[in-house]
Amino acid sequence: MSSIFTKRLTKELKDLNQKPPEGVEIEEAESFKKWKLRLTGAPGTIYEFRFTPQYPLEAPDVVFVRPHVPIYSNGHICLNILYKDWSPVQTVAHVCLSIISMMSSCKKKELPPDNDMYIQLAAKSPKKTPWAFQVRTCKRI
């Protein structure tokens, strides 16, 4: 495993345990490959973070274990910082706060309009989806 990967995730896990952002709780983090976090922005929601040794240079895969609207029913999240706008300065805490913000500001509590088609065609990793980001909306292309 890459040394930057191990050092970075060790530090982030320590920070999340000692001073988690409001609304973020670790459900499971037994390895550096996958963590499950509970965010209180969407009641009862658990998110799974999957890390590759390229982290933090590459964004983690983040999916909902128990999806809520407006997230795709397979748990995929259309959030630009997880794809085209990823930067190594982002942390798991930053991603969690972005998800809480997205869920809290969502006015329409419904599945994305292309949900049924998307879940039939989507790869396991949401990073394999070519997303199109627009102001206040997101769709796959």
Q: Could you give the 3-state DSSP secondary structure of residue 24?
A: strand
Fold classification of 3-140 (topology level): Ubiquitin Conjugating Enzyme (3.10.110)
- Is the previous residue joined to 130 through a cis bond, with omega within 30 degrees of 0? no
Axis crossing angle, helix 92-105 with helix 3-18, rounded to the nearest 10 = 60
**Of all residues in the chain, what percent carry a pLDDT higher than 90?**
45
Q: Residue 138: its pLDDT value, please?
A: 59
What residue spans define the domains of the chain?
3-140
Predicted TM-score of the model (pTM): 0.80
Going by C-beta distance under 8 Å and a sequence separation of 6 or more, which residues neighbour residue 45? Answer: 38, 39, 64, 65, 66, 67, 68, 103
CA 52 to chain centre: 14
Q: Which residues are catalytic?
A: 78
Measure the CA–CA gap between 37 and 94, rounded to whole angstroms. Answer: 13
Tens digit of each residue's pLDDT (9 = 90 or more) over 69-120: 678 889 898 888 999 899 999 999 999 999 888 877 777 778 888 899 999 9
